[in-house]
Structure formats: structure tokens, C-alpha cells
Amino acid sequence: MEFHRILSAAFLFLLFLTCNGDSFSGNSNLFREYIGAESDSIKFSDVPINSGVEFHFILAFAIDYTDDNHPSPANGKFKAFWEINNLGPCQIGSLKDSNSNVKIAVSLGGDSVGKGKAFFAPKKAFFAPKSKTTWVQNAVSSLTDIINRYDIDGIDIDYEHFRSSPEMFAECIGQLVTILKQSGTISFASIAPYEEINSYYLALWRKYGHVIDYVNFQFYAYDKLSVSGFISKFKEQASNYGGSQLLASFQSGGHGGLRPYDGFFEACNKLKDEGKLGGIFVWSADESKNKGFKYEKKAQALLAA
């Protein structure tokens, strides 16, 4: 009888944590890096890959815009806007053949679009569906073609500008991910929110969190953080996205958040000691190339240890 009371108490405690959004998915050796948005010369082979981690390259970006001189929303008809010359099907095939721990994702949306390159464009990339039904139909069709052509394993959602309600965003993206998973087209999905746009992603998470595998929260979008400040923000977002596999993050060439030379790895080690580090992601390989990828090496070593 005493044993059953202990089990019941343990179950109620776990239920309390889950219902209050304070559960954590535990540590992971997942390392993810965005690539292809800011450089015409970046290659997969430039980036060091530690065999002791699960490594995801995230192609940035596929965008549902036209690719002419005056890009406009295309209602879910996605095109590849990343650097396809060096990050194409042949290169992906060779990469996977040489590295069994590597998977490929494609990120949807991003900040801007135009002239075939997301980084050089002055025009913001808006989530702007004409209707839920047509957007989802077009997105499923166009992304299935891209995913099959490039041998992509998963998708990442990184819309940052919106001409829709949070509810419309949640339904369109939630249905898209659900359909792509049910068809076996993708095996995982992630989201990439930050504080200012959290209302959209939390609407998605509340209804469709069960089909989202990773949360790439952009902690570098905060103003400069201390180690304690970073850990506090991490735990706040872990509560917002209760039960998620939440990744820590830094930006190679940025000054926001907690920079890798200001204590990022100290913060990650503390989170790892608490069993709360769901992985690390970096924006971006393009920016890290001229730094010799020293922080990517350090991050992967931390995760592999």
C-alpha cells in the first residue's frame, strides 16, 4: 500500500509540473546551424562536424514569394532562396554519405526576400495567406517538391513578419506540419520564435505543439544578457513552451543575447548540469566562416561530452 501511495504522489507531482509548463525534455546532443542566407560561397564542407552530436543543417530560406525583381507573396507557393549552387542536391547527397549523423532541414520565411537572395533583399518577407485552405494546399505541394528534390528531412518555421492573425498562422502552419508528417514527407519540425513575435508562435504551440519537435528560440534577439540573465530567459521560454525540446542559441556576428565569448558556454554548462539543455543552434555558418568556426567546435564538444 505504501508503495502505491509513493507512485501516486510521484505521478501527481509530474502532472503538476506538466500542467504548469515547467517540465523539461532533458539534455540532448543536438546541434543545429543555419546556412545559405548570407553568403554565395559557403559550403557544407566548410563547417566542422563532430561525430558525437546529432547535427542539423538548416537551409535558409524557402519563401513563398516570387523570385523576380519585385517579389510579392505567393500564397504558399515556396521557392528555394538559399545558396543553391553550393548547397544543392548533389552536395547534400555527398554530405549525408560522409556523415551518418547529419540531417537537413529547410527554414520557411526568414526576415527578407528579393533578387534571389534573402540576405541582400530590402523587402520584408511576410506571412500573408489569401486563405487558409489555398495556402495549405499550395504549401504542401510546393514544399513536397522541394523536400524530395533536395533530400530534406525536416522543416523549420521562421516567419518574422505577419499580415495575418496569430490564429490564422497557427492553423496554416499547424496543418502544414501535420500533413507533411502524416505523409512521411518530413520526420521533424521546429519553430524559431523570439520575444516580439511570441504571440504567433505560442498560438501555434498551444494547438499544434504535439507535432513540433524542437524550439529554436532566438535568444540573441534580446539585448545583451549576462549568464544569469540568459538562464532566466531560457527558463522563462521553457515554461512558455512547456515540455518542449528547447535549444540555447547565439549569433556568430551579432551583439545581442549572450555572446559565445561572454559566458554562453558557462550558461550552457549550468543548464546541462540541471538537465535542461535541449541542444544548441547557431545563426549562422555564413557569419562563422571568417572566424574559423571556433565556437561551433566548442559548442559541439560541450554537447558531445
H helix or E strand, kind and range, residue 270: helix 265-273
Which stretches of 66-120 are assigned E, i.e. beta strand?
Answer: 79-80, 102-110, 112-113
Q: Where are the beta strands (DSSP E) in the chain?
A: 30-35, 54-63, 79-80, 102-110, 112-113, 123-124, 126-127, 154-159, 161-162, 188-191, 214-215, 248-251, 280-283
Catalytic-role residue among 38, 160, 287, 296: 160
Give the residue among 136, 234, 223, 150 at the shortest CA–CA distance from 180.
136
- Residue 243 gets the label, from left (phi > 0), alpha (psi -120 to 50) or beta, of left
Residue 83 annotated among the catalytic residues of the structure: no
The continuous run of DSSP H or E covering 221 comes out as none
**Region for residue 293 given its phi and psi (left: phi exceeds 0; alpha: psi -120 to 50; beta: otherwise):** left
SS3 201: helix
Residues serving a catalytic function are: 160
